[in-house]
Amino acid sequence: MYNTKIVYFGTRGQELTSRHLEKFVECGANIVGFVEAPPGSISTTHTEEDPYESINETAQRLGLPLLCPTNPGDPGFIRTLKELGPDVFIVVSYQFYLSEEVLAIPPMGAINFHTSLLPRHAGMHPGFWAIWYGDGETGMVIHFMDDGIDTGDIIYETRVPVRPGDTINVLYDRVWKTSTPLVGRLLDDLDARTLPRKPQDMSKYLYNYEITEKDFELDFRQPAEVLYSRVKMAPGKFYFEVKGERYSVTDCTVVDEHVHTRKFETGVPYPIEGRLVFVTPRKFLQVDGVIRDGVRIDPISLAD
């Protein structure tokens, strides 16, 4: 059993919370209480059902306090947190902002698990945005929390490739397989008071907001490889418009250019060798599957 007293923050039904919590319990972490976000309050792009024991179930099994404030700035909640006497907060998929008053409670600070290579993709839905931007790699950063959003000093990080055809679920699983083994190291360093810390390079800070419908419109000014990865991570969600009609892409292929000319218009579908393609800055994006109003149609029928 470790000595450092932990209050663990998370959200039920979120695998990022529960997968890492299982490892904390398995390693013998000295958890003195839990803070749970209200059910349904979290926005996520991870769609697989959580196979692990949820934070509320773990709290009940261990007989530990479980707090579920609708407002983490509530004086009663802050008072109860102080009464738990934590040395550190561990925050894993808890999307409420924690004020300086809350962060000042544990003498060793608060530590957050964030699924991106900070300072890139701070904020919401880092896995979605890593694929959306065409990043070649991502990972997990475990960092101290401050009054900014994902801006605190880095303790550890892992790195994994972002592969063509990755879904968000597949990418997150690849990252989390590298970060759960760090829990034992984190507990060792907490007890020894030897946590490393490295300031972030804030000139590279990129904050991502909530996803909007416009983010699913295919921008053919982007390379074909980037658009391919977007479609593959969420088939049927990304779309293009032709003559005012919206068409959702369920499948696509990156192909070399079969013609020796660049006299094309961007965003216009062309029939080339019996296939529907869009020109991009690099290669063609061949559209292999299309849906309009829930009905599958032949992509080549959209060409003039």
CA distances from 62 to 33, 39, 40 (A): 10, 20, 24
Residue 19 sits in the same domain as residue 130: yes
pLDDT at position 250, please? 97
Of 188, 208, 228, the residue that ends a domain is 208
Of 174, 208, 242, the residue that ends a domain is 208
Q: 136-165: per-residue pLDDT in tens? A: 999 999 999 999 999 999 999 999 999 999
Residue 232 sits in the same domain as residue 124: no
Confidence of residue 46 (pLDDT cuts 50, 70, 90): confident
* pLDDT average, residue stretch 87-112: 96
pLDDT at position 41, please? 65
Of 208, 240, 272, the residue that ends a domain is 208
Read off the tokens for 211: 């996803």
What's 296's domain CATH number? Answer: 3.10.25.10
Element (H, E) at 19: helix 15-26
Residue 57 sits in the same domain as residue 181: yes
Range of the domain at 287: 213-302
Confidence of residue 257 (pLDDT cuts 50, 70, 90): confident
E strand residue ranges, 151-283: 154-161, 207-208, 239-242, 245-255, 270-272, 275-279
* Cα 12 to Cα 20: distance, rounded to the nearest angstrom: 12
